[in-house]
Chain A
Amino acid sequence: MLLTITTTHEPASDLGYLLHKHPGRVQSFDVSVGQAHVFYPEATAVRCTAALLLEVDPIGLVRRRSGHGGDAFALGQYVNDRPYASSSMLAMALKEAFRTALTGRCNARSELAASPLPLQIHAAAVPCCGGPDLVRRVFAPLGWSVDASAGPLDPEIPQWGDSRYVDVHLTGRLRLADALNQLYVLLPVLDDAKHYWVSSDEIDKLIRAGGSWLATHPEKEMISSRYLTHQREFTQSALARLAEIDDTDADQLDNADQLDQLHNAVECATPDRSTPLAEQRRGAVLAAVRASGARRIGDFGCGEGLLVRDLLADRQIEHVVAVDVSARTLQIAARRLRLDTMTEQQRARVDVFQSSLTYRDDRLAGLDSAVLMEVIEHVDPPRLGALERSVFGYAAPVNVLVTTPNAEHNVRFESLPPATLRHRDHRFEWTRAEFRSWAERVASEYGYQVRFLPVGTDDVEVGSPTQLAIFGKVTG
């Protein structure tokens, strides 16, 4: 919420002309999130500093945003770092305060505006996911000498480590307009904590608009994708409210967005890069389904419906029952599968509804095959018994196909730190022996036979990245 711009170009007070703000005055103006103030703590011929201070109105901020859903906001909307952090709000205030300066126009000092000046920028409390190092990676290639440091999260609780708020000092010779533009784009970029999917043409658009400095920047892809996605509106689902009342991060509950992508993030770094592992997994499952001659298939834990799409494309398959425990995931699946616009014949081939594998559900009975692709590892081990009973005991399809990560293979994922699970919602990842012993016990308990197949490159030492068990009901 505070930015100072200092120059030692003589006469330094010319900075007032370039910024179109008189050094002798304190100017305040309303911005959408509160009030911005521009003033000069120092304005001499040899050194001039302009300060932009943003006063955020935290209560007004929430009220303006919430609109009709007045009370449907997360607590995080009320108690957060926004009033202090030098991020997107400060960038917006920067744009409001120095609109003309950002364009590089200055009739009074046009030559000065076009030339590089000795500049020092100080931004306090810049939230940066990636720490001082990322600040250096982002600003150094632009010609700045960077001095960045982060303070402790809480000096009285040292085990919590450093905070993500970086005190940023930049020193360099740049055109003022370039400096301002860079701050405008990059402050929000540093803040971003998460990756979200952005289409490639959107990225191209930003790169074109970002001017020369962005097009040649070594981190331009990271900058672009973060810039385009950081302002995701936080609409709160019923589910997220349940996370909140139990003091949990909503994203931990609502992983509808992440499942497919995060798997990929880890698993893409495999030697099987030619065909992503998720695709190989679907292929293997489809092959097993086809080999069994099954006509009525259940996809238990269908996620966003990729396997459902493949199953529907196979005319041998008469009916697909696709269920997931997440209502939101099912909405995404319905959209991806275009359920609304399917022909009646196609639509009649698929049922999509919410179910839970730890409850008995009559609608899941009478299937030839049920697929549990990357599902069991999302169930707490004490609740696996309930899943076993409802799937193998009650739904009791002729075949059950179960895939799960092979924990032994994790050492082959370069991006995965040791002793880490592939996804944060995984409750366990099993070795081949563990999976085998589970599957064999379940098979004998419920009257199935089971065989195993590797999915993905079957590494001599650590086995394949995914393991597949094919259960067949023993008849007679």
Chain B
Amino acid sequence: MSIEPIPAREVPVPELSLVVLVGISGSGKSTFGRAHFKPTEVISSDLCRGLVADDENDQSATPEAFELLNFIVDKRLAAGRLTVIDATNVQPEARRELVALAREHDVLPVAIVLDLPENVCAARNAVRPDRDFGVHVLRRQRGQLHRGLKGLQREGFRYVHVLRTEDEIARVAVVRTRLFNDLRHEPGPFDVIGDVHGCRSELEELLGKLGYAVERDDAGRAVGARNPWRRAVFVGDLVDRGPDTAGVLRLVMGMVAAGTAFCVPGNHENKLLRALRGRDVRHTHGLAETMAQLDAEPAEFRGDVERFLDSLVSHYVFDGGALVVSHAGLIERYHGRASGRVREFCLYGQSTGETDEYGLPVRYPWANEYRGRAIVVYGHTPVPAPEWVNNTLCIDTGCVFGGFLSALRYPEREVVSVHAARVYYQPAKPFPVNPDAAEPARREPDVLDIRDVTGKRVLETAYQKRVGVARANAAAALEVMSRFAIDPRWLLYLPPTMSPVATSTRADLLEHPEQAFDSYRADGVPAVVCEEKHMGSRAVLLVCRSLDAARARFGAPGDAAGALWTRTGRPFFPPPLTAQIVERVRVAAQSAGLLDELDASWLLFDAELLPWSAKAEPLLRDQYAAVGAAARAALPVAMSVLERAAAAGRDVGDLLARTRARSANATAFTQAYRRYCWPTDGLAGVRLAPFQLLASDSTTYHDRMHTWHLDVADRLVAADAELIAPTRRVDVDTTDAASIADATGWWERLTAAGGEGMVVKPAANFLRGPKGMISPGLKVRGREYLRLIYGPDYTEPANLERLRQRGLAHKRSLALREYGLGLEALDRVARGEPLWRVHECVSAVLALESEPVDPRL
């Protein structure tokens, strides 16, 4: 014989809610809180009183204690954490504040009332020395409690649980329930289908195209559809305007009942439900036709429809929070929340309160501001083609207006569409029907939010977990970005700074290739490539296949088909000249077969633009040439005065020798900068040396060998040798002395002939070592070029000796951080992430560039 277990008293509590414990002093609220919730979930007024006044019973500190309590609750609810309030809460004013707080965060308020007899509470208080208040206090509290009990629902508590005996309280099992909108455990895959509006035949066609088998009843009517691997999600507005609302409802209701589809309500369902319930609604916007269609159906069907509509949940959160479906979209703060205003947003969206020239409400562009990681798919506002805006997609392509019925395949992010058979309904505002099948486009907001780039920032990248940007550096980057940079929709990337090799120990040099080979060998890299360092300015070039391609992907700011920018994001040239370069490279890429081979609608190149004087003529003139001119004006005069002094027998021999040496150094300096100047006229004289393909469409290329990149460059050179300059290079085996000697000789010849030097890179391109990323490149600059950096006289032995003490650690760390951020930006571009996610990386690179580091490195 078994003993019947005492059934538990179940107290359901939504997973995300504000639980308000209500009970007089001594009713056991704190004990209850400890028994059923995590310690950090329970915020007690006593604790807060203690925190602000060092005494949990100091009633004079009560106002401050509740300010603190509200503050903590505010932070917890904002973060989406269940929170329990442990305070008497017997007064309606106290509860009103908490209900308001819950509503502010769109979580459900729940009341758990511990209504124990007064004598039980009094007995408990009697054994606690700090609770020495009289019975009249308890009596007053109990009176307040009882007066309020009935009105708790009305006060806004969604659930009220009243526990009246010690026994009942002892048997309580708090059960956390999922919110109706919480389908995070459903990973998909899904097909999210746009506004159907009674277009049943298009819906059947679309379901067929998506691989669903439509199920029919005896009368041949569609009553369900099934795809063994996928489920459909309807964004609402199934009804009104179209020819067969009843048929659509029958099909969708069948799918939802069978578990082959989910459905959220649209504003039209909401209105239809009210009409079916006999409320006074205006039969406009197609409702009259719907009612007529439903009137033709049996009453039973109308009852089913009413129950179905009533059961619909404002929005769904799927796949661990990665996908949100709602009729009119949803701001991130409302995802998975439940309140009247969340439902209102889901049904109607956000309007600015204004109306446009057609009398339609002006929608607030919430998607432009959206910064969430979850994809939000919605309908409500018909668009000629689905557009990605910051991870949100409107999938209503205006079927009933003669457009398309579209579905987004998730997680594939592909759009599948079928044409409307005809125009079923004339829209109030002319609907521009897209003649082509609806391919999802992107629309980047032309204005980004300042919060994406200001203040102290920490960016998470796949390359270095957390990269920090100091406030002052972010401020400098913001200023430069705002005042000088090109449109952020073009600015996908800024090149990282590059570290020089470790300082050479050779008597007459600061930099020499051997340190580069040593460094990579020590990192376990056997194969490196030495690339000639061009004598120009770093440039990034974006080339689109066509103006249309530029519009579809980047919005084509300035009606351009590409852009060319410097390492701080400035344009090199005015728009017409930029357009010429972009066009020349496009033609070259086309004729080299690159665009087709890579199936690219755009290409992003890392390059060098020559001559340096094309960008930096003022610098060359005002700084470098000035040094040469000053030396020419001073040193020969000094030499002749010294020679006269020597002839007159003065002992100036050493001084004369030093002055002669300095004169020779200054001449060498002048020769060094002259190599960077040649006249250009329009494009004539300008050369572009691409050396790496950074990205195209959804691909990045940092995992391709550098030989591949250089082959790409060579093909461009072959197609347009006048504009595009090749990059000379040598492959090196860092474990082979002969190979190293060859490369060293190559570098020596290159620099002896006036070359700037070379960059040594791992042949495999991007590499990770045991200690993180391996340096993507080390520059080895030539002896003569370095005069422009360290001054004409740096080669004097005494000067070289002092210059060898240069600290490279900061520069190296900076180079790696910027490299990682740049790659992260490219990854985000390739993944089609919203522009602000790219822009924050690009801005961070610029901000890091403003860190103080020896500019000669």
Report A's interface with B, CB cutoff 8 A: 1-2, 4, 24-26, 37, 39-43, 51, 53, 55, 58-60, 63, 69-76, 78-81, 83-86, 122, 124-125, 127, 151-154, 156-157, 160, 163-165, 167, 236-239, 241-242, 244-249, 253, 325-327, 354-362, 378-380, 382-383, 385-386, 389-390, 393-394, 447
Contacts and interface: CB of A to CB of B under 8 A. Distances in A.
Indicate the size class of the contact surface on chain B: 35 or more
Contact of B568 (A156, A245, A358): A245
Contacts, number: 252
Contacts of B368: 360
Q: Sorted from nearest, which 8 A-B pairs have the closest CB atoms?
A: A163-B629, A125-B633, A125-B634, A238-B476, A247-B616, A81-B630, A238-B850, A41-B644
A11 to B, nearest CB: 17
22 contacts: A1-B638, A2-B638, A2-B641, A41-B641, A51-B645, A79-B627, A81-B630, A84-B630, A84-B633, A163-B633, A165-B634, A238-B476, A242-B476, A242-B846, A242-B849, A247-B615, A253-B483, A359-B448, A359-B452, A360-B450, A362-B451, A394-B447
Given A163-B630, A236-B852, A237-B476, A382 B448 contact: no
B644 A42 contact: yes
Interface string B791-802: 111100001001
B850 A242 contact: yes
A356 B482 contact: yes
B677 A239 contact: no
A383 B489 CA distance: 11
A154 B669 CA distance: 12
A69 B645 CA distance: 42
A40 B650 contact: yes
A2 B637 contact: yes
B641 A55 contact: no
Contacts of B629: 81, 151-154, 163, 165
Contacts of B855: 71, 73-75, 78, 241, 244-245
Nearest to A78: B791
Contacts of B567: 245-246
A151 B850 CA distance: 37
A335 to B, nearest CB: 17
Interface string B658-676: 1100100010001000100
Contacts of B369: 360
Given A75-B856, A125-B630, A354-B478, 13 more contacts: A41-B642, A59-B799, A83-B631, A153-B629, A154-B628, A238-B473, A245-B568, A245-B855, A248-B618, A325-B482, A356-B450, A360-B369, A382-B575
B447 A1 contact: no
Interface in B495-532: 497
B408 to A, nearest CB: 27
A153 B621 CA distance: 8
Contacts of B452: 359
A26 B631 CA distance: 23
- Interface centre among B627, B670, B789, by most A CB within 10 Å? B627
B437 interface: no
A80 B627 contact: yes
B594 interface: no
A60 B791 CA distance: 12
Given A79-B788, A124-B633, A242-B477, A59 B641 contact: no
A386 B629 CA distance: 45
A25 B790 CA distance: 35
Given A39-B650, A41-B645, A357-B482, A386 B446 contact: yes
Contact of A81 (B484, B626, B677, B854): B626
A326 B479 contact: yes
B678 to A, nearest CB: 10
Contacts of A359: 447-450, 452-453, 478, 482
A389 B555 CA distance: 16
Most B Cβ at <10 Å: residue of A69, A127, A356, A361: A356
B25 interface: no
Contacts of A53: 638, 641-642, 655, 659
Contacts of A236: 852
A246 B855 CA distance: 12
Contact of A78 (B354, B630, B856): B856
A86 B638 CA distance: 12
Interface string B600-627: 0000000000001001101101111111
A2 B791 contact: no
Contacts of B624: 79
Nearest to B454: A354
B44 interface: no
B634 A86 contact: yes
B641 A382 contact: no
